[in-house]
Structure 1
């Protein structure tokens, strides 16, 4: 029997969306407040745990509002000077200067390597990295996590190639043509051979590309169909799965991400069932609506405005970076870049009719990634956020592309 159950969702607690580490941190706060003097724990000692609490809060995609915003804000401050050898070795491996660490570095660089432990190996590896005081051990684990994260990327890329073939086949036969917009309102796709641990990443990629809720499944070591789901924001996944609960053995998650297991004999009917439920619980959002915060021109892209925007950081779920709409800007140059000449990323230079040239980047993209064809000298509408690069110690203010219309 449990001595006590800590649940932030009880009626009288104001912050309902703490992540697991946030709940543990609140327990530590309460313990020190009540027993700190007895155990000779200095008041305020728990603030040095905010590096891990902040890391978890930013990684777990909980809304950065209320207490979560405070945890992530001060968590970033502690992360920038955290003495943990494992964190320092991992950042050094990625050539990230710790004092300039950002929430983007956490989301795109640090978290994927920590998650690679559970996706590809043993989750305890991530714990050992963050808890060890041994610098040699920390370096070895950091190298290992980076290696299996590369393996994870290769695996996800392979699955995505298979996904694209499957969806093209659906668009070509079952839906009367090559128009993938004719897919069901909810996409369900899977293969018994796909590794369950990476399916959340696959679901996220498909959802981003097709702007639909996506459920991706594989089979675990017990021959059970398990998977992950991601929402495009048009529906709460928990509401959607609750509406279709008879198909699931288990399910859980939150509005934007979740996990599930399914009866073997029902998996092939799940897509249609979810699509029917979708019509009942979907949010009334116009999918083709262009969403931005500020309409301006490229003259606003300067360090003064970047510093003002950074006062609202850290950014994340429910506190996104401000999106700027730059209308009728001219494409001056298009080039590919990437690790070891891979060319997997895109850099485009824009201008106001040849004046005030600004670089903009889009990771894991190419000229065909957008709704319209791109060409030098073409005028387009650009949706983008501010982005400060410190690559190889050189500061460069640029834009990060959200979309090109």
Structure 2
């Protein structure tokens, strides 16, 4: 909205304020950053803003952006939509979750190199603190789940939980337990507030609308939202939302193991990667193409991660034609998929292309979407 306003303003007052031709194009870095950081369909004008926004981001002279990229060891000229969504955006969002939203504005607008470096370091620090807090809440949630029934809609909360991180918690629970999730805490005004995420089966806004008498306020879109809940209603909320779930229109689940193209590991080439990249940037409603590699053998499994954490996997696969390919799975274990990843296992692999430029070394690999048994009919 701000970018469209700026476009219209410049168009009307260009001559009056002597604004140079094309000046608004250099604002696309921020418009692109916002679009790629949000859960909006990358279609139509959104796609155009994201596409050209990335081009400007790769050349942007903003000191704060450059310092953030340096913190992340990302080369600006190769910045991708994944870098923005999974690395830049979380650090900028950490400002509002853990500190003051102004810190994110300041790092993107400062022209002072020293201040930019200080702000970028601060955002990285509080983002690490945010991860620790979320991990702690998730441990508490999982402990709670061992003692309770899992219903169609999950509501969980604690007045001591930090409200700013609850959207992340809700997203993690929804992804792992595959159902809509509402998580609440208590804010600085002693009001019970929270965030909700959908697993894609139903709109959280429709759920809340159906149970509106339980809320002080609510809003959002189909997949994510926020709410304030009445104190005397919070412990009845799960029951009411489960009743809502039975009333609202639900979506039919897509085929479990969807893929776009069936091929062998010999197809993992820079030539094919360049063809796929012509469809980028990828995101909501424009997902990365998923490739099915049938009957591939797990040759080796290795763990890796920051400071030896072992939170990620690197796997070598080989097909019947002796083609091999490296694949990675982030924040996953050998048992995270339908078929376990053990050396010697014969599996069907569902994956997307992934070009790594870690430490300046270019390497084409696969990013695992799922792994299943070769005789699994759902993978056909």
Could you tell me which of 135, 155, 167 is aligned with 1:200?
167
Q: Distance in 2 between matches of 1:349 and 1:168?
A: 35
TM-score (norm 1): 0.90
Q: TM-score, normalised by structure 2?
A: 0.95
C-alpha contact 1:238 1:252 (8 A) present in aligned 2: yes
Which range is displaced more, 88-97 or 40-49? 40-49
Query: Is the 2:300–2:343 contact (alpha carbons within 8 Å) kept by the matching residues of 1?
Result: yes
The correspondence for 1:277, drawn from 224, 228, 244, is: 244
Where does the alignment leave 5 or more consecutive residues of structure 2 unmatched? Answer: 373-380
Q: Does 1:219 align with 2:186?
A: yes
| CA spacing shift, 1:163–1:354, aligned 2, 3 Å | farther
Equivalent position to 2:235, from 268, 284, 300: 268
Write the mapping of 1:121-160 to structure 2, written as runs, cut at 5 A: 121-160=99-138
State the match for 1:56 in structure 2.
34
Structure 1 counterpart of 2:78, from 87, 100, 110: 100
Alignment match of 1:332 (pick from 299, 313, 320): 299
2:349–2:370 contact (8 Å) kept in structure 1? yes
Moved more, 352-361 or 119-128: 352-361
Question: What corresponds to 1:242 in structure 2?
Answer: 209
1:163 positional shift: 1.0
Are 1:396 and 2:363 counterparts? yes
SS in 2 for 1:364: coil
Q: Structure 2 matches for 1:218-367, cutoff 5 A?
A: 218-286=185-253, 289-353=256-320, 355-367=322-334
- With over 3 angstroms needed to count, the CA separation of the structure-2 counterparts of 1:354 and 1:190, relative to structure 1, is farther
Partner residue, 1:8: none
The Cα shift of 1:255 comes to 1.1
**Number of residue pairs matched?**
372
How far apart are the structure 2 equivalents of 1:274 and 1:392? Answer: 48
Q: Which segments of 5 or more consecutive residues in structure 1 lack a partner in the other structure? A: 1-22, 176-182
User: Offset of 1:190 from its aligned partner?
Assistant: 1.0
Separation of aligned partners in 2, 1:285 and 1:381: 25
Which residue number corresponds to residue 178 of structure 1? none
1:75 matches 2:53: yes
Aligned to 1:88: 66
Give the drift of 1:371. Answer: 2.8
1:19-64 superposed Cα distances (whole Å, 9 cap, x missing partner):
xxxx011011111111111111123211000000000000011111
